[in-house]
Structure 1
């Protein structure tokens, strides 16, 4: 979601940006050590290594939001009250959902590998599947919503920031891309609530539909970028 070639207005690290960076680093530390201990045998070491896929997926997801906030800070350099509130809310949500997100990925990889990758989470009924989708939807959607609000705030300040025509198009692109996350997450949550968590639904693909819906983000992003390139191509050269 970067915007290459655009000027950076946040050329100096603010206290807010430093705090957010430190909080994200702490979240990644929690992700790595929460509930774990140093292996004391080869069997425990092997079990810990099999948890790497879930850790890697969680790591990449958290880094995605950290990178988005860092990009926003560098591009617009905003450090007002609204920026601080939204940034602190982003940190709060990351710290709240960091371990639940790892559980979701652990269960996913355990299911895909037929138990080879450990879940370390007991699934007692089909309702737990819906609960995991609801948890992930709230976590992923709320984080995406905060990022969308940060870019929306930058849009409101576009005149004060002196954004040119190209920068405004790129800002709208980033805003839309982040806004797609809570929109898709909401669809996933509604599907998780609507699809009955029963053995019949589990025997097909319906119970997994709330998770499959996130793949639409991979389809929507190229469409948004293609539309943005078309808008940029229409700009006068002097713009």
Structure 2
């Protein structure tokens, strides 16, 4: 819909942003259904129902890997949902990007689960089971590379969605605060996308001794988020101070 100051004024504002997409579109409904299907696939892939206590215990040992996989998919879903609520965009670019994200998440489910189960099995000294039996270091590197490519694409799609919203700032009538918040979203997801790509290339291109360490590159994400948050928080404070001074004058 074409936005005007009159149509924007009654919209709820959350964390400095007016919610232009409160009404769910068919694309968003389809996206939610696809994420739900991905989580269902994650559950179904666990295997058959335990038939005795040892099988139940063995199944429960797989819960941490499932929980991490669930959380990872949930974070991507929440990010896309938040983007949809803020901007309410549904043009050719955003539709294509959303469909690409859905396709990737459905493909990403199994590498995601294998990645976390392998990591937790290594971290627990084999006490937690893994669904991925690697016979060589190269197979672990390949898994890390596949996971990294999926993470790179998903985070890159979210960065692209925020960039598309920024390109449509005049159409959406974004104010200065909303523009900064949008740029913050681009920075947050672009940095994560780059980290995923670096991890994938590290795993696939370096020798085995170094390649199998590619997963630890993801520990850079919290530091990237902190730096991005501090930078844009400072810019937002400066903007609010400038607006207050201008209002007083």
Q: Where does the alignment leave 5 or more consecutive residues of structure 1 unmatched?
A: none
Q: Deviations over 1:152-202 (max 9, x none)?
A: 1111101110000000000000011011122111211221123212xxx2x
1:230 corresponds to? 234
Asked if 1:166 is matched to 2:170, the reply is no
Shift of 1:68: 0.5
2:6 corresponds to? none
2:15 corresponds to? 4
Name the count of aligned residue pairs.
230
Q: Deviations over 1:86-118 (max 9, x none)?
A: 111111000011111100100000000011110
- Find the aligned partners of 1:233 and 1:5 in 2 and give their Cα distance: 12
- Find the aligned partners of 1:190 and 1:28 in 2 and give their Cα distance: 28
For the residue of structure 2 that corresponds to 1:237, the secondary structure is helix
| Alpha-carbon RMSD | 1.3
Q: Deviations over 1:10-40 (max 9, x none)?
A: 0101101111011101100100112511111
Kindly report which structure 2 residues correspond to 1:1-239, keeping only aligned pairs within 5 A, or say none.
4-34=15-45, 36-197=47-208, 201=209, 206-235=210-239, 236-237=242-243
For the residue of structure 2 that corresponds to 1:37, the secondary structure is coil
- Find the aligned partners of 1:22 and 1:10 in 2 and give their Cα distance: 18
* Higher Cα radius of gyration: 2
Q: Where does the alignment leave 5 or more consecutive residues of structure 2 unmatched?
A: 1-13
- Find the aligned partners of 2:97 and 2:180 in 1 and give their Cα distance: 23
- Find the aligned partners of 1:63 and 1:228 in 2 and give their Cα distance: 25
Conserved? CA contact 2:188–2:225, under 8 Å: yes
If the length of structure 1 is used for normalisation, what is the TM-score? 0.92
Any runs of at least 4 consecutive aligned residues in structure 1 with deviations exceeding 4 A, and if so which?
A: none
For the residue of structure 1 that corresponds to 2:171, the secondary structure is helix
For the residue of structure 2 that corresponds to 1:39, the secondary structure is coil
- Find the aligned partners of 2:225 and 2:132 in 1 and give their Cα distance: 33
Shift of 1:237: 2.4
For the residue of structure 2 that corresponds to 1:63, the secondary structure is helix
2:3 corresponds to? none
- Find the aligned partners of 2:135 and 2:174 in 1 and give their Cα distance: 54
Conserved? CA contact 2:137–2:212, under 8 Å: no
- Find the aligned partners of 1:214 and 1:165 in 2 and give their Cα distance: 32
- Find the aligned partners of 1:166 and 1:214 in 2 and give their Cα distance: 30
- Find the aligned partners of 2:85 and 2:175 in 1 and give their Cα distance: 16
Shift of 1:48: 0.8
